[in-house]
Amino acid sequence: MKATDILMEEHRVIERVLVSLETAANRLSAGQAIPMDFFLKAVDFIKNFADRCHHKKEEGILFVAMDANGMSQENEPLSIMLEEHEEGRRLTRAMREAAERVERGDTSALHQVIQNALDYVALLREHIQKEDNILFPMADNVIPVGQHQQLTADFNHIEHEDDIHEKYLRIADELAKVVLA
């Protein structure tokens, strides 16, 4: 299995969480009661699975390998992917801060929870499409076949740090159960 295949599998997990997050935000917008704990758990997933695990593989391993093989991180498409990762982090922080305000009784922050959640969902859906359909095929072409085994080994190392991968696969399932209930 190529490193990009692993990243695409992780994209499918992230997309499941995006569906759950979008559903919860839309229900909240329609006046249904959605506990802020749902959004805080989604933020935890985003921060630790999508960013600490998945984006760490992209930024710290794949993009570095692409850069070493002639695709500068300073130029498109890598520079755009890095900017979008940062925008996702900003939206995640804003969603967390708004959810915490609501938990403290500031219901005026509900709109911010909803908007940041929906903005994050839209950003990530587009971002994933770019990576799956443009960036990863480029990576497969630019990175020599002989380097893919090392990339995969490096990915496995990240996955097993602090048992992060399995824990957040369970959280993705928990989030889906909340909105399907």
What residues does each domain of the chain span?
3-180
Give CA–CA dist 48/39, Å, rounded: 14
Give CA–CA dist 17/120, Å, rounded: 11
Q: What is the pTM of this model?
A: 0.95
- Kindly state the tokens that stand for 181: 């209930």
Q: What is the pLDDT, as a whole number, of residue 162?
A: 61
- Kindly state the tokens that stand for 166: 């399995």
User: Which CATH code for domain 3-180?
Assistant: 1.20.120.520
Give CA–CA dist 123/85, Å, rounded: 9
Res. 167 pLDDT band, cuts 50 70 90: confident
Q: What is the pLDDT, as a whole number, of residue 136?
A: 97
Q: What is the pLDDT, as a whole number, of residue 99?
A: 98
Determine what percent of the chain is predicted with pLDDT higher than 70: 98
Q: Can you say whether the dihedral through the CA atoms of 2, 63, 72, 130 is positive or negative?
A: positive
Sequence-ordered strand ranges (E) for the chain:
none
Give CA–CA dist 49/61, Å, rounded: 16
Cis peptide before 77 (omega within 30 of 0): yes
Radius of gyration of the chain (CA): 17
